[in-house]
Structure 1
């Protein structure tokens, strides 16, 4: 009896064991890809998440975390770890790869435990980085609130050194996430809770990588570097102390290993110097130069490229220029959706698979459509030689309501964050502000002011203020959308587009979109998508007419290049997406729908036609 009482007393005093979370497993998505079941639980851990600011001491936190929905707002008591269910990070909780595959969750917790090597906290600081969480996130370390972020597409970081209690794996991270998707007017791209033909399954949660980094007390916080076709390099090395600290910067030719510049600079000041006869970056020859920066105990590695994006008059026509020459932009609308991962590609090789098809066809560009990708995507474009037209993720406002002043201000703030985050990538050539009027105020024209804000942040690129309609003359492009035939710089146009304005470069922001229903094995089978397949811009009964029509559209585009002022075009699209069956590939990436040989020949002829429009090469900037 006494032993029983002692046992009961000890049981009351000892902490109870939390119930084990539901174990992780890949859930069968409505449609899988060749990578779904072999992705594993750490597909992104080998990739340094920020390739333009690399350090030696870092640790990925990607892998299995735990998750649970909550009905409460942030500020409630933190739930005990582990949470109820294991989840894969990074992933969208709506995806099969997440192990959750839940729709309609608005508020939720994520949690994990982590360790920090003892040397990391010895006269050093520990930074916690999140590459993207959709949409609002509040972060707690060992019970203490350490930071928050709003915006579903861009990175944020925090110094957690003072909150790291242990060096073993008993340190705890809690992340509270709130994601209204399209219940609020926020930058959300094509995500929706109201599934329809051109709006798709949303992405909620920690959908890009999480990682730790050990840094010195005084450190490089960011690096802005541009290098132009003349060899002029303009650089600002930002430091966390902002004290004007001496530093060393080197630029190395990656092919020869030769140091082409070794400069003594000062942090937090914008300085310029010149490199003699640099090799220029182009889609045909995407030459990159390695960069190293040393400031005291801190050393970072990066890269840059010598190239100039501008516009000018070529043979009487306003053109976009690369290194002083008219280069025709041609490539697909690239939405970056995956049937198994939604926003998160199942693996890095899956992500590269899409870009490799684009490059294999002879295209030189992708339009990243109202989504911001992980930085390793842009690094791949830098290295492969693919120009990027980068969209700002759109707001959508329902019930014919204009955005409020608060919503508009937040859209502008997140636009600036995106530009700052991505502006060092040589592949990015154009910033897009508004797509097809979504979230665009039309009783006055804020795109003029936003264009100037983007130019002030990044004067080295062009701005496409309005792709689609509601064009009032802002930015560097006259950009219309027309399906299926192009209307690119032509003396005719269709509503709701506007007449070509010769003071800006003409680009066909979207065209094509011809569709062919795939076999059921390659089709996203959910009813809201299947029921809207016939809303695809042009549906074909069979492969023969599909191939004929594709060649016809590319011929029409070539004729407009030859006759009129067409400077670029975006074909819709890289892959099918849910109910849209108009991709170069099916949504599962298993079937390349187009005739690759015919497309390569037709694309070659597009660029050949554009090269004949260069005239004598005289330019007026």
Structure 2
């Protein structure tokens, strides 16, 4: 339960009384940080009180897993900083003002901070390194820090990273002291949409309203140390296709030289293949008669990769994503067969943790709700999740449409040349870091024109970049509108009813292009209001509920309308060229009440029997369009 102190701070915030500022306050070794206690957020979940002070104990990077590691999650110290120049005066050896839970967004209740504008922040902790690691490299890993992180170890700058959604590793061997306490200090700058900044932010905004939400600043994914030999594996690129071919690139720290890496593939405790190949270059080998991965049969194979003294664990799933012409219609193909992809728009927001789910169980809960209803896909909407999310999709059997986090959602605030180049660089990072997860089927570059330059058509060049980095997946270059013909999809957004591969369209979207795959990137969005105990208890958010595309006054009416809309989609599969759809959305979020389940994950709106039947009817209609027809794969 929340402590009385949390209630007092929440009451002060509600009544508008000023909280004491940390700006300009000097701290020294004699000062004591305010002890950690979670603040009471506007809404909780069933997992809020289960988080504790040692969150996310799971190994954070399942596709490159080492046995010798140390989790640094837990209670750190935090202090607000005045401006960007603060990084030039690090508070070495000083107690920061407050304790904070890592990982967490400092705007969240679980962080213990729950600030509104976390533009500049200091974070600190201490850690020990055993002398057993003395002959190894000591690697400091961050799952994600939003947005810029400057890292110091024992008073020395260890590195800098930009990009709020991506992991990074620093070799801190020369900075650490073995069998002694080491000081870790991190300066974070997160402008979100402040001033003239145009950076990838997705749905985050400093001024939340309806479909734009509370931002996430700080260290919001796991932090860990690991030991690795001098020549160690820095990244694994793994792809396994339906024909049993395994494509591998073992990137090493000795990037300018080549050594031999050994790859062993296991299934059910038995070795099915072993192959050696050069580091830092792609190589291939074949596994005979593999069990294929699909949403119906999410078969995975364990992989061990050895390089000199380094050994890591990983996994693969044999599947092929492609497109082809079936009975004269462009279709997405999984393992050579037309698959109708149907899933939800998944924002990945939590009322207690914002970007950070309270724990692994909570994160998987959302995915299992979708899987149990019959969805075979989830669209991760302009957010990137922890690696463990994608592993869960691999294991459960959910295809993933992965969006690139968008720039500002206003055409009047477009990126300049430098900002556009940074967007492109981070798109590269997204693809490179996550392209080995079998469940990811489609990359999305732009959502509804947000931050999309419209006079020079940059989506064509970006589509080519993505295809060069990852030729094994499809690219949805512009989901929604501002479509000039790039990519594999002719993607329509329309609320509430669908217009999927049809001879009719709204003026916001483009007409269906039969040279590409007809897709309903978003539809539905119908809402049903709930009582205050299940709402984000923020008056500004509550005031925007009526901006929902449609409000149904009862659950029965909501399910009736859902049935009609899914029936329309079924008609468009049977009659026209609809190849997939995305229902808005998995959960309510802040001022939105159009989820299958409420924001607190305590109430489901769906009539399960009806929804399961309606979703199965979509697959049956698609199957009827693909039987006994010719295929021409591309």
TM-score by length of 1: 0.96
Aligned mates of 2:206, 2:262 — CA distance in 1: 51
Q: How does 1:50-61 map to 2 (within 5 A)?
A: 50-61=61-72
Residues 514 and 397 (structure 1 numbering): CA distance in 2 closer, same or farther, change over 3 Å?
A: closer
Match in the other structure for 1:203: 216
Aligned mates of 1:174, 1:297 — CA distance in 2: 31
| Aligned-CA RMSD value | 1.2
Aligned pairs, how many?
602
Which contiguous aligned blocks of 4+ residues in structure 1 show a shift greater than 6 angstroms? Answer: none
Is the 2:410–2:451 Cα contact (8 Å) retained in structure 1?
Answer: no
TM-score by length of 2: 0.94
Match in the other structure for 2:263: 249
Of residues 273, 276, 283, the one that matches 1:264 is 276
Is the 2:29–2:93 Cα contact (8 Å) retained in structure 1?
Answer: no
Query: What SS does the aligned partner of 1:265 have?
Result: strand
Residues 540 and 195 (structure 1 numbering): CA distance in 2 closer, same or farther, change over 3 Å?
A: same
Q: CA deviation at 1:238?
A: 1.1
Match in the other structure for 2:503: 491
Of residues 177, 190, 205, the one that matches 1:179 is 190
Aligned mates of 1:152, 1:222 — CA distance in 2: 19
Is the 2:236–2:251 Cα contact (8 Å) retained in structure 1?
Answer: yes
Is the 2:490–2:517 Cα contact (8 Å) retained in structure 1?
Answer: yes
Q: How does 1:303-318 map to 2 (within 5 A)?
A: 303-318=315-330
Of residues 90, 96, 99, the one that matches 1:83 is 96
Of residues 118, 126, 132, the one that matches 1:105 is 118
Is the 2:448–2:478 Cα contact (8 Å) retained in structure 1?
Answer: yes
Match in the other structure for 2:8: none
Q: CA deviation at 1:401?
A: 3.6
Aligned mates of 2:156, 2:286 — CA distance in 1: 48
Of residues 521, 528, 536, the one that matches 1:509 is 521
Q: CA deviation at 1:230?
A: 0.6
Aligned mates of 1:231, 1:105 — CA distance in 2: 49
Query: What SS does the aligned partner of 1:612 have?
Result: helix
Match in the other structure for 2:225: 212
Match in the other structure for 1:5: none
Of residues 105, 109, 123, the one that matches 1:92 is 105
* Cα deviation code 1:111-149 (max 9, x no counterpart): 00000111112x211000001000011000000001000
Unaligned runs of 5+ in 1: 1-14
Of residues 448, 460, 485, the one that matches 2:472 is 460
Match in the other structure for 2:12: none
Aligned mates of 2:585, 2:249 — CA distance in 1: 37
Q: How does 1:373-452 map to 2 (within 5 A)?
A: 373-396=385-408, 398=410, 400-452=412-464
Match in the other structure for 2:383: 371
Residues 456 and 16 (structure 1 numbering): CA distance in 2 closer, same or farther, change over 3 Å?
A: closer
Of residues 79, 85, 106, the one that matches 1:68 is 79
* Cα deviation code 1:180-238 (max 9, x no counterpart): 00111100000001111110000000000000000011111111111110111111111
1:500 maps to 2:512: yes
Aligned mates of 2:125, 2:374 — CA distance in 1: 44
Q: CA deviation at 1:398?
A: 5.0
* Cα deviation code 1:390-433 (max 9, x no counterpart): 00000016581431001100000000001000000000000000
Aligned mates of 2:313, 2:28 — CA distance in 1: 48
Q: CA deviation at 1:618?
A: 2.3
Q: How does 1:528-539 map to 2 (within 5 A)?
A: 528-539=540-551
Q: CA deviation at 1:77?
A: 3.5
Is the 1:315–1:615 Cα contact (8 Å) retained in structure 2?
Answer: no
Aligned mates of 1:384, 1:250 — CA distance in 2: 24
Match in the other structure for 1:583: 595
1:353 maps to 2:360: no
Query: What SS does the aligned partner of 2:463 have?
Result: helix
1:547 maps to 2:559: yes
Match in the other structure for 2:173: 161
Aligned mates of 1:126, 1:24 — CA distance in 2: 29
Match in the other structure for 1:4: none
Is the 1:467–1:480 Cα contact (8 Å) retained in structure 2?
Answer: yes
Q: CA deviation at 1:94?
A: 0.4
* Cα deviation code 1:557-598 (max 9, x no counterpart): 111111110000000000000010000000000001111111
Is the 1:314–1:615 Cα contact (8 Å) retained in structure 2?
Answer: no
Residues 284 and 589 (structure 1 numbering): CA distance in 2 closer, same or farther, change over 3 Å?
A: same
Of residues 234, 241, 245, the one that matches 1:232 is 245
